[in-house]
Chains A and B, each alone.
Chain A
Amino acid sequence: MSYAIAAYALTVLIWAVYLVALGARSRAAAARMKGSA
């Protein structure tokens, strides 16, 4: 069971890191757009 739980935990972790980073990139792009407007 530990390998299965590890696989799911890593999946959640990878997606969490990616989506948080994506959110930060989107906020930065939105801020740039507001700055240049």
Chain B
Amino acid sequence: MNSRIPAWWSTGRRVLWAAALAMIAASFWMVFARAPVEVQMGAVQKIVYVHVPSAIATLLAFGLTFAASIAFLATRSAIWDSIAAASCEVGMVFATIVLVSGPLWARSAWNTWWTWEPRLTTFLILWLLYGGYHVVRASISSGAKRTVSSVLGIVLFVNLPIVWKSVQWWRGSLHPQAVTMDQDMRRVLLFSMAAWMVFFVAAFQERLRLEALREASEMES
């Protein structure tokens, strides 16, 4: 480990990964061994325990990108730009999982892999736009990279409330506005959310570590 990355980070990330993987394994066991099978949908309803936490992690990750982008423009401290980029990339992975698990649910629940209903359409737009963030960031090598990325991180945030509110703002949504759930199912969903949040933190710090290594490499060259 180089001198620019503190020693506690190395120890902390092992503990974090151990906790994250143990919690994910436990959540999978709860999903398939403990959670009751939903009466109408059957076992396919179990997709909700990975789909919903991934969607929430996506929104949190892009929310963190937004906050860190504002902090960078206000302070010009490189760490905020690193946090924004790291969070955005991990958010993209979560968003991809939402877009992969969603059609598997839709095929069973709505008899179609994809339909242009408000939540699906706005989420796909969100995924494409944040994908654009990474394309733009990777294409700029000058000092303007951080400023341009931060502006994008702020502007793109406008999509998040649109995705969140899409089921209320547009008619024809197949996603429910509110979900009622059996107590045992709720417990499994809450634990799955906690597990994926810890996993998010683990993946985020791992990506942030890459930024730190790159920064150190650039400073020493």
Task: Name A's B-contacting residues (CB within 8 A).
Answer: 1, 3-4, 6-8, 10-11, 14-15, 18-19, 22, 25-26, 29-30, 32-34, 36-37
For A32, list chain B residues within 8 Å (CB): 217, 221
Q: Inter-chain contact count A-B, CB under 8 Å? A: 75
Q: Are B206 and A22 in contact (CB under 8 A)?
A: yes
Q: Are B206 and A3 in contact (CB under 8 A)?
A: no
Name B77-108 residues within 8 Å CB distance of A.
Answer: 93, 96-97, 100-101, 104-105, 107-108
Q: Are A33 and B210 in contact (CB under 8 A)?
A: no
Number of residues in B with C-beta < 8 Å to the partner? 32
Q: Are A11 and B220 in contact (CB under 8 A)?
A: no
Identify whether the interface residues of B are mostly helix, strand, loop, or mixed: helix
Bound Cα distance from A27 to B67, whole angstroms: 29
Q: Are B47 and A29 in contact (CB under 8 A)?
A: no
Q: Are B220 and A33 in contact (CB under 8 A)?
A: yes
- A selection of 13 A-B contacts at a CB cut-off of 8 Å is A3-B43, A10-B101, A10-B104, A11-B97, A14-B93, A15-B93, A15-B203, A18-B93, A19-B203, A22-B210, A32-B221, A33-B220, A34-B2
